[in-house]
Amino acid sequence: MAVKVTKRFPTYEDMVELTDNMRQIDVDEIEAVTNLWTLDCVIASVHNSEKACCFAVFADGVLVCIYGCSITGNPWLLCTNAMNSHVLNLTRRTKHIVWMMSKRWPILSNVVDVRNKMTIRWLKTIGFTFTETFEIKPGFPVIRFEMVSNEVFPTSRLWN
């Protein structure tokens, strides 16, 4: 049976549900990268995202993730444990959204916890490359990921 995937701009209730069911690796990353409570970080991330590129995603009515892109071109993704069952299905569906983001921002860039293997695989699959690894705080290594739009910078990758 096919999974019914739906998306919408996140409501406050979606943000609370995400916070209550968030993967521990995402909670740990929020604590390392920000000085905010988890719910406050989710609210700020949604608030600081372009509305056309920010979605709560559901699989058969179950919240799987909320993702978006900040107004400065920093894509982000926060997941519930339900993502483990739907990552392949949702990867195919997010490629178009990331393509839209790359039309709006010539460079998409952010960091991810190096231990977050599922998100790193997802980012690689949809076309991001990885640059430097560094500790954002002692004992918490992150890796920078980016996507450079070839339409804006057609020779940007020739020298790498």
CATH 3.40.630.30 fits 5-148, yes or no: yes
Summarised one tens digit per residue, pLDDT across range 70-83 is 999 999 999 999 88
| The token pair that represents 41 in the structure block | 């970080």
**β-sheet bridge partners, residue 110:** 145
pLDDT at 10: 98
pLDDT at 101 over 90: no
**Residue listed under structure tokens 């058969």:** 60
Q: What 3-state DSSP class applies to 142? A: strand
- What is d(CA 116, CA 153) in angstroms, rounded to the nearest whole number? 30
Beta bridge partners of 55: 67
pLDDT computed for residue 157 by the predictor: 41
Q: What is the pLDDT of residue 125?
A: 86
Are the CB atoms for 97 and 70 separated by under 8 Å? no
